[in-house]
Amino acid sequence: MRNPIAKWGIVAVLFVLSIACTIPIPTTEPLTLLDPPADVYQSLGSDGAQAAEINLRMLSRQLTLRPDIYAELLNAHFHYNVAEWEPKIDQKTANGVTDISIRQGMGGQLTLGDSADDYINNWEIGLAPNIPVDLGVDLGTGAAQLDLGGLSLTGFSLTTGSSDAVLNFSDVNPEPMSRLRLTAGTGSLTASGLGNANFDQLSVFGGAGSIDLDFSGNWKRSALAHIRAGAGTIYVRVPSAIGVRVQVSGALNRVDTGAGFTKRGDNEYTNAAYGQAPLTLTIEITTGVGAIRLVSM
């Protein structure tokens, strides 16, 4: 395709379509409203396992996740007023690993003509900080507040459709993280304290929403970050104490550098600590149409 802008526009559309399965689809079928809303509390233990794989799939509304020192493994509170949205919970354990799946009921659709304000679906999830967990979160529409600070995460993935997601590594992850993957559709994604995540490689995939990445934290080792987006604005904030090299490519980009970054050649940017500090963060950014803002703090 000769027109690079059109090419990246198509890429953005295809990306949004690829995550469309996480977005509720309007339906003519009525939903069963509960009055009063249901309040369900659930506690899950480790079932004798030394590690866990936990997957949360929520199609609509509000998700809150945080460390819970009182949880054996997972404490949950579900507050909803649609019978079809009752969470489905499965747990199985084998070879020292317990696998937990929590997913919103199959009535994830919204009835045509109804106001979204008529529906309630709030999940509050607490995780034990002392058990190694490979965590996956899949969101459709709504909002998510994820406080991952101090959790023992061996891996983490987040996929959103049109949700606005805020995640924060407020404390150091004691486990080396092999996989950190963030995928955002048309909503906004804000991630802070990424230096506390203790990752080797970070992959960020964006559609048409804004992406704000704050790499502050207590860095343990050098790392590599890949950021790919079709359109939208990407903010990258890095600490001045580690060396940072940013490589930018794409069809049509506007790169704004704040204090602390120097342009090296056409598409390369470094901060003052690059080549001097013992740790290096390498960031590769590929975008279609959009703006990139780099700040070394």
Q: Could you say which DSSP state residue 30 is in?
A: P
Q: What is the pLDDT of residue 208?
A: 84
Find out whether 48 and 92 touch, Cβ atoms under 8 Å.
no
Global pTM reads: 0.89
Q: What is the pLDDT of residue 198?
A: 97
CA distance 102 to 55: 6
* Residue 112 confidence class, pLDDT cut points 50, 70, 90: very low
Q: Could you say which DSSP state residue 217 is in?
A: S
Fold of 4-296: Pectate Lyase C-like (2.160.20)
Alpha-helical runs (H) found in the chain: 4-18
Going by C-beta distance under 8 Å and a sequence separation of 6 or more, which residues neighbour residue 266? none
Domain positions in the chain:
4-296
Q: Is pLDDT larger for residue 9 or for residue 168?
A: 168
Residue 139, beta-bridge partner list: 58, 160
Which amino acid is located at 272 in the chain? Answer: A
pLDDT digits (tens, 9 = 90+) for 127-160: 999 999 999 999 988 999 999 999 999 999 999 9
Percent pLDDT > 90 in the chain is 69
On the question of pLDDT at 252 being above 60, the answer is yes
